[in-house]
Chain A
Amino acid sequence: MKFKDYYKVLGLSNNATAEEVKQAYRKLARKYHPDVSKETNSEEHFKEIREAYEVLKDPEKKVAYDTMGSQWKEGQDFTPPPNWDAGYEFTGTYSGAENFTEASEFFETLFGRRANHKQRSNVHSRGQDHHAKVLIDLVEAYQGGNRTIALKMPTLNSQGQVVLQERKLEISIPKGIYAGQHLRLTGQGGPGSGNGQAGDLFLEIAFNPHPLFKSDGRDIYMSLFLAPWEAALGTTVETSTPTGAIKLNIPSNSVTGNKLRLKGRGIPGTEPGDLYVLLTVVLPPAVTDSEKEAYRLMSEAFKFNPREIKG
């Protein structure tokens, strides 16, 4: 196990005040919080920052950490000295942080699970609800179907160490589900204690990115590229949709940005979504002599100045 220099994580010196700890944390949180960050790998980084803050903002933990910390350097192999925490009494709760469950091995060794989980006083209590995100393909939302998912969950083994336990779960994907919705699996969350019921498992649905189709609720968006003459004269093109290929009528004088709505061809449901086809006209480059000639003929046929403001 490596020693973690919590001061270094927050970019602080070892004698930082409580106010400095708070300021440094808030600044880094805004930069790296996975919900607001533009940085890649922000989630891993944020966990470290959060953990450092959990220790340094808490006077009890900070004192304990400081007593031990001064001889160690970031990344050094670390085993805590025996009875290092003798004489410190941890209250075992910290405000507003009951959900802080992703602590490192280093944190667990120093402060243990006891500091990390609210003790339940009730003998027969309901298990915790669990959450996970599941990626499915768009086509599964159209058709429904079964899928086996693998979930990793930190659990305590008999020695009290945290291990990642993987479990496989076969779930049915209901037809018509869309990204952002939740599937609730009754009784698949954490086990209850005593006669308490197990908690539920909430699966938040997201779609695997698709090269052609983007979703917004039950509506699906796709792009269709047209040659200038197809757009100007109108045509029929064959295009793929999530439900298979269809023939699509392109009205004459279509322009880039026009949207064709195929009603009810989005994700099915009691109110099915629509499929929107966004048209983009692509200009072919003039390379050969005959291609150049074709553009010259166009310039003669059209008295067209795109910079003229239309009344």
Chain B
Amino acid sequence: MNKNLAPNSVVEDTYLTIVELTQATQIEVTHIVTWVREGILEPAGENPEQWVFSGESLRRAKLACKLFRDFEINPSGIALAIDLLNEITSLRKQLSLHQENLKHR
């Protein structure tokens, strides 16, 4: 093993607790709880102490923080915006594949 290598782990393999997620996003725990209730984040586990968050949740939480801070929108607005942004991303992906094919016709 190379000693210079920084030890790392893929978030999917280890998961984050609610405390780790608040540290990673620097947002108060109450926001995280609200966002889980709103369906923006979907942790596994029954109650907040047992929640574990995936890498996808981390991505969504980071986005939620930015939307909350920069647009000052409420939780249901954040949920709607994230859903729509995800849909745009997936539509753009499909579109770029098809556009590439059309270029060759």
Contacts and interface: CB of A to CB of B under 8 A. Distances in A.
A249 interface: no
A177 B11 CA distance: 10
A208 to B, nearest CB: 15
Interface string B55-97: 1101100110111111110000000010001000010010011
Instruction: Please classify the interface of chain B as helix (H, G, I), strand (E, B), loop, or mixed, using the class held by over half of its residues.
Output: helix
Given A96-B68, A99-B69, A183 B23 contact: no
Interface in A195-213: 199-204
B69 A97 contact: yes
A283 B69 CA distance: 52
Contacts of A146: 2, 5
A180 B24 CA distance: 16
B45 interface: no
A252 to B, nearest CB: 21
A4 interface: no
Interface stretch (A70-78, A125-133, A299-307): A125-133
Interface residues of A, number: 48
A185 interface: yes
Given A170-B6, A278-B97, A282-B104, A96 B72 contact: yes
8 contacts: A26-B71, A98-B26, A170-B4, A182-B11, A203-B8, A221-B97, A223-B100, A282-B104
Interface of B: 2, 4-12, 14, 23-24, 26, 55-56, 58-59, 62-63, 65-72, 81, 85, 90, 93, 96-97, 100-101, 104-105
